[in-house]
Amino acid sequence: MYQMHKPDNLVEMLEESISRYAENEWFGVKNGNNEYVWHTYREIGARINNLRSGMAILGIGRGDTVGIISNNSVEWAVACYATYGLGARYVTMYEAELAATWEYIIKDSGIKLLFVSKPEIREKLSHLAGISGPVKNIIETNADGPGSMTDLEARGAMQPFPSIKPSADDIAGLIYTSGTTGDPKGVLLSHGNITSNIHAILKHFHMLSEHTRSLSFLPWAHSYGQVCELHAVMRIGGSYGLAESPATIVDDLAKVRPTLLVSVPRIFYRVYDALHARMKETGGVAEALFNMGVKSGRRRRELARAGKKSVIELSLIHI
């Protein structure tokens, strides 16, 4: 069973996991052949170290604010943990957001370095960058050459910078509300806020282990996905396959074969409807077996609520 103990900051938590689970797969990303390619804790850890050093070259340090506008990606996580390792704050924003909202959050939180996933996002915010603007550098995560994350990692590899270990009370980041009732409000989250939740999750969900695998589609820009999936699974050496898009979730499930899904009801309903539609279209034996499996699952759940076991479970216990 998971023992609740230190570390009480995300930097030490990350470094313990990279040391303990170095050869475990961490992130799976689709390649050009529509297949998942997996990257280990050791590989991602090296990228985090290099980016942290590159960010230090740009002058990012303790108490500074780093922002990102991106969907879930390996680069999102690398920038996140690199920021924590400098004692800086990480502010997350959605790609599907108004430029005016990005600009408000950038100014309100005092973002000094901004990562963006697309050149068109950079273009929309270019007027905020430079000597006279609040943002000193805008870095593209999915590009090569000067001004890219790849370039910054390469620079950092040449000038290593050791990680800073924040205290539990140090601010890890800000997560902004939707702003539906006015301007977005930034919620300050400390390292202790986040790590205490992680310890509690892993203490009560004792089935989670280094063999846990998730299909990641819930935005890490939201506290639920970030804490319960990104950070908690990292803590126990598990892995995540990154869903290509909401439309591909059903196909991605078959490729990643997750043991854990962190989601909200709306997504589960979407998966449920897609599976039923596909089985109805396939028909025949496949549809019959699928319906039998659903019926069996419902029966097992009903019996479990009544404190009983199914015939299948009793047979397995007997064996």
Q: Which amino acid is at 206?
A: H
Number of folded domains that form the chain: 2
Across the chain, the runs of DSSP E, i.e. the strands, are 25-30, 36-40, 65-69, 89-93, 111-116, 137-140, 171-176, 186-190, 213-216, 239-242
* 11-24 average pLDDT score: 97
pLDDT confidence bin for 183, thresholds 50/70/90? confident
Query: Is 108 found in the same domain as 165?
Result: yes
| Residue 200 included in any domain | yes
pLDDT of the residue at 281: 83
Q: Are residues 290 and 236 in the same domain?
A: no
Domain of residue 213: give its range.
10-248
Q: What is the per-residue pLDDT across 122-172, written as a single tens digit (0 to 9) for each?
A: 999 999 987 767 899 999 999 999 999 999 999 999 999 999 999 999 999
In a domain, 142, yes or no: yes
Question: pTM for the whole thing?
Answer: 0.84
Question: Which of 248, 276, 296 delimits the end of a domain?
Answer: 248
Do 110 and 152 fall within a single domain? yes
The answer to whether residues 270 and 229 belong to one domain is no
Distances (CA, A) of 223 to 189, 255, 260, 261, 307: 9, 26, 17, 15, 35
Does any domain span residue 144? yes
Do 65 and 198 fall into the same domain?
A: yes
Residue 116 is part of a domain; what is its CATH number?
3.40.50.12780
Mean pLDDT of 183-193: 93
137 forms beta bridges with 113
Mean pLDDT of the chain: 89
Q: How far apart are CA 314 and CA 319, in angstroms?
A: 9
> Are residues 172 and 66 located together in one domain of the fold?
yes
For residues 112 and 64, membership in a common domain is answered with: yes
Q: For residue 261, is it within any domain?
A: no
Q: Are residues 176 and 273 in the same domain?
A: no
User: Do 277 and 244 share a structural domain?
Assistant: no
